[in-house]
Amino acid sequence: MSAYAQELKNTAQAMVSNGQGILAMDESNGTCNKRFDKVGIPTSEEMRRSYRELILTTPNVGNYISGAILYDETIRQSTKDGKPFTQVMKDQDVIIGIKVDTGAKDLAKFPGEKVTEGLTGLRDRLSEYYKMGARFSKWRAVITIGDGIPTQFCIDANAHALARYAALCQENGLVPIVEPEVLINGDHTIEQCYDVTNQTLWTVFDQLHRHRVEFDKMVLKPSMVISGLDCPQQASPKQVAEWTIKCLRKSVPADVAGIAFLSGGQTPEQAAEHLHWMNSEPLKSQCPWPVTFSYARAIQQPALENWKGQESNAGEAQKLLHHRAKMNSVASQGQYSSDKEKEPAMA
Ligand code: 13P
């Protein structure tokens, strides 16, 4: 058994403990700059630092967030007063997570499909991140639904990389978040999304098992089973919750420490509502694992749009971030309703 066995188990359980979820703030510099550009924020290292300081210093965010996923640039940064972000997180009781893949790249000879890279040198990087205080990590694979895709080859390649990553994480004391994202983009139906998600998860867990990954020391970060953004027939929130739990029950071992969904382009309110229905009866008691969130856009977007890079907007932006974290915490306990959205921020 690994020297880290007990620590890994404790960390995995803490990441998905009741009423808490994970904040993804691990956008690569490229992705972060794209989001800044859209709302007119200058794209510089200092702006990215300043934005991440705003997020991490939001008062009491640790009540709703068990952990936050950082990017390599961010884990090395500090507040403008010189306090390392890792210390800010420890003081808020927020577990430090780190994105370790180096991005989804075009899969040669498979048009329209991607494979995630980042295994080279990963063991050394994980050991450095552990020393910096990180206790969990993330690797995102991307599966696209389209004409004749995904191919089983693409799913296999991504599942293999995810499993190699997860095994290395457990060897080095970090809980792996395993994230196979089936993209919401396209005009596919919820049934098509169900089939692809099911096929993907089966393949991923087969590979994880072959790589001897211990399921009780990992967290799965799936996409929800949902209608494509351009599908004329949009499934209702309850249907999304039902199809998603049905799919996960068929393909995710009961031993997995927890499920923490990505938001994937859903609006903040949709992401909260879907999570709410999954944590309400009759679905809740069908789930052998805790089901919570690991959202980026569905937590950050209102705050980012309000901040606009202006110091004078920081307080208001923090209120909006706090509100979204709280809404998702409430949803993860099956207590969300649209009325709750009207409660004063930061209460
Ligand atoms: P979204 O919630 O914005 O989809 O991001 C989650 C994430 O971490 C993607 O890797």
Q: Inform me whether the pLDDT recorded for 2 exceeds 80.
A: no
pLDDT at 345: 79
Ligand 1 centroid–CA 83 distance in Å is 27
Q: The domain 5-342: what is its CATH number?
A: 3.20.20.70
221 is catalytic: yes
Q: How does residue 344 score in pLDDT terms, banded at 50, 70 and 90?
A: confident
Q: Give me the half-sphere count of Cα atoms (radius 13 Å) on the Cβ side of residue 112.
A: 11
| pLDDT > 70: percent of the chain | 99
pLDDT at 343: 87
Q: How far is CA 346 from CA 42, 61, 292, 324, in A?
A: 28, 10, 21, 10
* Mutate-to-test residue for ligand 1 from 32, 158, 177, 294, highest number of ligand atoms within 8 A of CB: 294
Q: How does residue 185 score in pLDDT terms, banded at 50, 70 and 90?
A: very high
User: In the chain, what are the domain boundaries?
Assistant: 5-342
Region 290-314: what's the mean pLDDT? 98
pLDDT at 55: 98
Q: Inform me whether the pLDDT recorded for 54 exceeds 80.
A: yes
Q: How far apart are CA 279 and CA 91, in angstroms?
A: 30
DSSP β-ladder status, 104-106 and 114-116: antiparallel
What is the sign, positive or negative, of the torsion defined by CA atoms of 180, 232, 274, 322?
Answer: positive
**Which residue among 27, 53, 179, 214 is the active-site one?**
179
Does ligand 1 lie within 6 Å of residue 297's CB atom?
A: yes
In sequence order, the 6+-apart residues with CB closer than 8 A to the CB of 129 are 75, 98, 100, 137, 174
Region 26-46: what's the mean pLDDT? 97
Does ligand 1 lie within 6 Å of residue 298's CB atom?
A: yes
Residue closest via CA to ligand 1's atom 9 equals 262
Q: How does residue 3 score in pLDDT terms, banded at 50, 70 and 90?
A: confident
3-state secondary structure (DSSP) of residue 219: strand
Does ligand 1 lie within 6 Å of residue 140's CB atom?
A: yes
- Closest ligand 1 atom, residue 265 Cα: 4
Residue of 103, 20, 43, 65 whose CA lies nearest to 304: 43
Place of tokens 């899969």: 107
The pLDDT tens digits for 133-167 are 999 999 999 999 999 999 999 999 999 999 999 99
In sequence order, the 6+-apart residues with CB closer than 8 A to the CB of 330 are 272, 276, 336, 340
In sequence order, the 6+-apart residues with CB closer than 8 A to the CB of 177 are 22, 69, 97, 136, 137, 138, 139, 218, 219, 220, 221, 260, 294
Does ligand 1 lie within 6 Å of residue 328's CB atom?
A: no
For residue 278 the two structure tokens come to 């999954």
Does ligand 1 lie within 6 Å of residue 290's CB atom?
A: no
Q: Give me the half-sphere count of Cα atoms (radius 13 Å) on the Cβ side of residue 221.
A: 31
- Closest ligand 1 atom, residue 264 Cα: 4
pLDDT at 347: 57
Region 60-76: what's the mean pLDDT? 98
The pLDDT tens digits for 219-244 are 999 999 999 999 999 999 999 999 99
Does ligand 1 lie within 6 Å of residue 21's CB atom?
A: no
Q: How far is CA 34 from CA 72, 267, 325, in A?
A: 18, 18, 23
Q: How far apart are CA 194 and CA 80, in angstroms?
A: 46
Average pLDDT, the chain: 97
**Which residue among 221, 242, 273, 326 is the active-site one?**
221
Q: How does residue 272 score in pLDDT terms, banded at 50, 70 and 90?
A: very high
80 is catalytic: no
| pLDDT > 90: percent of the chain | 98
Ligand 1 centroid–CA 59 distance in Å is 23
pLDDT at 1: 58
